[in-house]
Amino acid sequence: MRKALAILQKVLVNYFFRVNAGLFMFAFFVLFGLPYSVLAFHYSLITGVVQSQTFLALVMVVWLLYNIKCVDYISKQLKHQHQSFLFCLNCLPDKKNYLLQLYVQVQVYMPVLLYSIAIVAIALKQHHYLAAIEVILFNLMVLVLTPFLYLKVLQRKPLNYKGLAIPSLGLELRKPYFLYPLYFLLKDRKQMLLITKIFSLLLLYGFIQLYQPERADIRPVQLCLLITAAAHCAIVFEVRMFEDEYLQFSKNLPITLIGRFFKSIALYLILLLPEMVFLLKGIHTQFSIYNYPQLVLMLIALICMFHVVLLLEKTNMEQFIRIVFAISAACFFVILYDPGVLLAAMILALAFVLYSSYFYQYEKQ
């Protein structure tokens, strides 16, 4: 039993955290690196969760999405031909095999469990017993039921899932090549895209609902958008990897550099459309309508800068997150001095200069 646990820890759990190191580093940066007073921030955040059923439901949706990501990764690993030796676990009694899969689930679900313990402790302290019971039951259901999915995959049993069939109308729509990365995200990176969008929209919702300034000030909104842009770093990285792998032919197309740059802006405008629409809820409370174009320009400029950085040299995800952190930290201090639209314009101009300088020089390694 110990040897089986050690093998599963090495080939499943350790690789899960290694592959998703970028996501965990970003989450740690947002939750523990940005707040001025970490304990006070998390205490007020958890207090809001246990006092509001709507907020608690949204948090549980995020936990569920994280668990879906865990199930997706573990299932793919169990199906992979390199892990076919794990099929021998079927020789064990069903109870022992279930306990092994339960161990895997507890390990990969541990970040949520640790935060759930803190929520339950504060909920009990503040006498919000219903919220504590809901959190406990939700996590128990996730931990108890998820290992059965792993068992079915390990036994090569289908999960009896049929995708939703969309009827074809016989229409052939031309897809502009610069939107190919968006189709790739919608097809092969649905979970990453969904989790990123839920996080960024929840962030904007929480900011607009909880922050009520005495007077309109655009700087707090800009800081919120700074985090929103940083949250999309994994999406930007996937877009660049897709371009690197499949869109090399576009360099031979008769398109000017400024035309190519504007096509990238158009791609990210479409990608960030939900955030732009949701940002309209903050008009007249956090900022005036005249500031809205500046905020949109700031968001697009940051995303374009993150995109262009990946053209400078071959960069892995861990290095890219450090670069995003450095850019975000620099912008944070500049925003405090209220530079106005000048900051967004300079970021976008610098992004274009770097893009025009390195676009043709960058080669896939």
SS3 state of residue 214: coil
Angle (CA) 334-337-343 rounded to 5° is: 50
Cβ(236)–Cβ(310) under 8 Å?
yes
Q: 287 has which bridge partners?
A: 283
The tokens of 2 are what?
């110990």
**pLDDT averaged per 10 residues in sequence order, the chain, 365 residues:** 77 76 66 67 82 85 85 81 73 82 88 90 89 91 88 66 42 68 86 84 80 75 88 90 84 87 92 89 80 91 93 83 88 87 92 89 59
Burial class (CB in 10 A: 0-12, 13-18, 19+), 137: exposed
> What three-state secondary structure class fits 276?
helix
Type of residue found at 222: Q
- What's the confidence (pLDDT) of residue 312? 87
Residue among 135, 142, 109 at smallest CA distance from 120: 135
Instruction: Quote the DSSP letter at residue 29.
Output: I
The rounded distance, in Å, linking the Cα atoms of 148 and 144 is 8
For the record, the structure tokens of 82 come out as 């390199």
> What is the C-alpha separation between 80 and 92, in angstroms, rounded?
20
Using the 8-state DSSP alphabet, how is residue 83 labeled?
A: G
- If one counts every other C-beta atom within 10 angstroms of the C-beta of residue 225, the result is 26
